[in-house]
Amino acid sequence: VNDEELKKRIAEELALERARRDSEAQKRRLFGKLLERERISSNEHLTRAILRERAATEEERQKAQRYAKQLEEKDRELKKHDAYYKEQLARLEERSAQFYKVTTEQYQKAADEVSSRFK
């Protein structure tokens, strides 16, 4: 009877061990599936974040290009105004020099005339 009981007990323990192993294997598969879903979800979030960053970077690059073009246009406009005002200043200086020359000549002429009258 002992042998039969021992065999029965061993068979029960083997069955329990097999059930425990099956349970552990099932838990590992379930945990593996859960980890796989989590990894896929993380990858999707990461991919979306990367795409958002790329879009934001592209938008910033385009903005920088627009600002650079606007700055170049302003610079050209300022150079054009600078050239115009330098030209105007040169004309005014020339006219001022001419008026000074004419005025000086007229003054000298008048002074000579007054001097010759009252000698």
What is the pLDDT confidence band of residue 3, given thresholds at 50, 70 and 90? confident
The full length of the chain comes to 119
- What single DSSP character describes residue 1? -
Model pTM score: 0.51
Place of tokens 């000074």: 100
pLDDT tens track for 11-52 = 999 999 999 999 999 999 999 999 999 999 999 999 999 999
The Cα–Cα gap between 10 and 15 comes to 8
Pull the structure tokens for residue 69: 């073009």
Please give the pLDDT value at position 1. 61
Pull the structure tokens for residue 9: 């007990």
